[in-house]
Amino acid sequence: MDKIIGREEEIKKLDRVMSESEAQLVIVSGRRRVGKTFLINEYFHNSFAFKFTGSESQKNPEQLRNFSMELNMTSPKKYDVPKDWTEAFFDLREYLDEQDAEEKQVVFFDEMPWMDKKQSGFLPAFEWFWNSWGASKKNLVFIVCGSVTSWIVENFDENKGGLFNRQTARLFIEPFDLRHTEMYLDSRGISWSRYDIVQVYMIMGGIPFYLRLLDPELTLNENIDNMFFRKRAELFNEFNHLYNTLFSNSEAYIKIVSALSEKRCGLIREEIVSKTGIPANGVLSTMLSNLEKSGFIRINREYGNKKRNTRYQLSDYYSLFYFKFIRDNYGKDEHFFSNMNDNSARRAWAGLTFEQVCKDHMRQIKNSLGIAGVLSTESTFYKKGNDENKGAQVDLVIERGDNVVNLCEIKFSTHEYEIDKEYDMSLKRKVDVFRESTRCNKTIIVTMITTYGIKKNKYSNYVGREILMDELFI
């Protein structure tokens, strides 16, 4: 397991699974390209009693033929191609019954959602296999893995039939955080500044598959041009491939994320309906839920707002970068990103996206504030102005259980951020508007989250706490 970067909690869970004396049904899910298969292969040294991978493009008869070939490669006995999945699982049962009952038998079904084709009968057959036989095999460890998180949740976490509450362990594989991204890049011989690592994170997130494509011989800008903007770049068609393989009705899902990309603070449900033309019914609710479960959107809570005003925000870094730069610029300039090095549009994108990086590192921010064990809720704040009163917006509000509120301003800068008289007045107005409009009677601490800190001057003392970029890597 020397090759595994991070994943400490997941490894602990797998260690516990392997120490149990009862049958184990392990569910592994997470965004496509996040490293689910790599983790399982590396943990078990790619040694399984049986392993089978579903195919997104193949129909049921072809999947069954593939299953038969894999089983025949593993077993000394040769099996005919099963006529259906019930017969396939019976063959697997017969094969496993012949193995050493004193040793753990690990079965790995990768991309299981792709096996469950329409009218394939796959899921009822698996349910029969597990409930009638697998659950009683004390030495059996059955690992179910899939990128279609919504399918995993629906058929295991929320199953109302024979698979209800059958899982014994659940692993949701998150993208790397900044610390593990730095470790991963270092393992590949890429020694970049943390400023550059944050930039690459804002483009592709902590997705190992994307990070693996970075060339240590090239600069950050050269890598991004090479991966996204040159003709026939390796990831030139990643967007369509990503959504088409995860969602059966991908056109509708793309409509939703496209609409969300236009407003960084997110859209409420009625705005999504208006922009996409998708009816406000249960289908829309399911699609929004699927996007959230798959890690593509998040609920962006506004301070004090009721749930009915919930805003949905696009949170997948690659998708955000695609809509901002790739969609309309691919193939036009093979050095597009390099040529935008000091462009105002790139600076604006970096500033907004750094806000999201901070929201995805709340554990590190709370640690830096010394409130790791304090219950808190995170939100944003926006008060629209009018002719009489100016409005205010706060990037991040941390309301703490110790009667304190951190109003956080987030700035992505190439140097120490300097607070001038105008910005000093803006900070004070934000506090006044927040306290007045929310009737907050808690202690308010103005907090600055920046790359390199605040330049000390006569206006900097109003800031109560500082958090630097380096602290996000802890």
Domain 239-320 has what CATH class?
mainly alpha
Q: Please determine, looking at this structure, whether the domain spanning 8-172 carries the CATH number 3.40.50.300.
A: yes
Per residue in 178-191, pLDDT (tens digit) is 999 999 999 999 99
Over pLDDT 70: what percentage of the chain? 98
| pLDDT for 471 beyond 90 | yes
DSSP H/E element including 449: strand 443-450
- Percentage of the chain lying above the pLDDT 90 cut: 84
The whole-number average pLDDT for the span 446-471 is: 97
Residues linked to residue 29 through DSSP beta bridges, in sequence order: 146, 172
State yes or no: pLDDT of 1 exceeds 60.
Answer: no
**pTM of full prediction above 0.85:** yes
| 1-10, 175-184, 280-289, 453-462: least confidently modelled range | 1-10
Q: Name the least confident of 196-200, 324-328, 444-448.
A: 324-328
pLDDT of residue 307: 61
Residue 218 CA to residue 228 CA, distance in Å, equals 14
Q: Give me the phi and psi of 137, to 5 degrees please.
A: -85, 100
Structure-token match 């919504």, residue found: 150
Assess whether pLDDT exceeds 80 at residue 63.
Answer: yes
The H or E element that residue 127 is part of is helix 122-132
Segment 411-451, tens digit of pLDDT = 999 999 999 999 999 999 999 999 999 999 999 999 999 99
Domain limits of the chain? Answer: 8-172, 178-236+330-355, 239-320, 361-473
**pLDDT higher than threshold 70 for residue 61:** yes
Closest C-alpha among 107, 116, 137 to residue 40: 107
Q: Identify whether the C-beta of residue 100 lies closer than 8 Å to the C-beta of residue 82.
A: no
H or E segment and range at residue 312: strand 311-314
443 vs 235: which has the higher pLDDT: 443
Mean pLDDT for the chain overall: 94
Structure confidence at residue 3 (pLDDT): 84
* 223 or 389, greater pLDDT: 223
Q: Is 108 helix (H, G, I), strand (E, B) or coil?
A: strand
- Whole-number pLDDT of residue 310: 84
Contact 349, 322 (CB under 8 A): no
Buried b (16+ CB within 10 A) or exposed e, 129-161: bbeebbbebebbbbbbbbbbbbbbbbbbbebee
pLDDT of 290-324, one tens digit each?
999 888 999 988 897 766 678 999 999 999 999 99
Query: Is 2's pLDDT higher than 70?
Result: no
Residue 153 has pLDDT above 60, yes or no: yes
Alpha-carbon distance of 137 to 71, in angstroms, equals: 19
What's the alpha-carbon Rg for the chain, to the nearest Å?
25
Question: Measured between alpha carbons, how far is 34 from 45 in angstroms, rounded to an integer?
Answer: 19
Fold of 361-473: Trna Endonuclease; Chain: A, domain 1 (3.40.1350)
pLDDT in tens, 347-387: 999 999 999 999 999 999 999 999 999 999 999 998 888 76
Q: What pLDDT score was predicted for residue 306?
A: 62
Structure tokens at 301: 């809570």
